[in-house]
Amino acid sequence: MVAIGHELWAVLSVAGRVCVGLVFVLAAVQKAQAWKLLPGVISNYRLLPRLAVPVAAALLPPVELALGLLLLSAQATVWAQFAAILLLALFAAAMAINIRRGRAHIDCGCGQSFLKQSLRWSLVARNGALALLLLPSLSTPALPMSLLLSGVAAGLAFFLLYLALNTIAALPPVEQRRHRFA
């Protein structure tokens, strides 16, 4: 029974890295595509001094891309995993601060420009869940190929679930959809 638990933990460690790595790569690509809008999105959070906004907008896509690629690589370091957890926590904190300030109407800037989403607690929880997915990978040794492939498959499944849930969450409320088609 203990061996099964260790194998499950090992698969989950790979799955978490694959899922979060793909999320970061996707977010980086989408932010780079909308690079003109990114400073405005960051500025809307009202957390950084005005002079720091362009610097943050310039650095965020390459940092997300680098972390995503590191997480997807076989040589992912503990430092890359900690950095990804820290970045997810930073995003969650920025959202939570603005929600508490009554500024939930701003776009989260999560990357998918065609799925603009206002801030809400479920987005904060989503970032927390993504960070939690990385915890098993902090203590997992090298894996046999069968467990590695299982982890990659599970990570891809988690990523597809993430995309589906993100799309569903961005849909307008039922009341708005009824009025639109009536």
DSSP H or E run through 142? none
Report pLDDT digits (tens) over 69-80. 999 987 778 899
- DSSP string of 47-76, one letter each residue: -S-TTHHHHHHHHHHHHHHHHHHHHHSTT-
Does residue 107 have a pLDDT over 90? no
Q: What residue type is assigned to position 102 of the chain? A: G
Q: Which two tokens stand for residue 78?
A: 């503990």
Does residue 4 have a pLDDT over 80? no
Residue 172 has a pLDDT of: 75
What's this model's pTM, rounded to 2 decimal places? 0.82
Report pLDDT digits (tens) over 10-66. 888 888 999 999 999 999 999 999 889 899 999 999 999 999 999 999 999 999 999
Crossing angle of helices 145-170/2-33, nearest 10°? 50
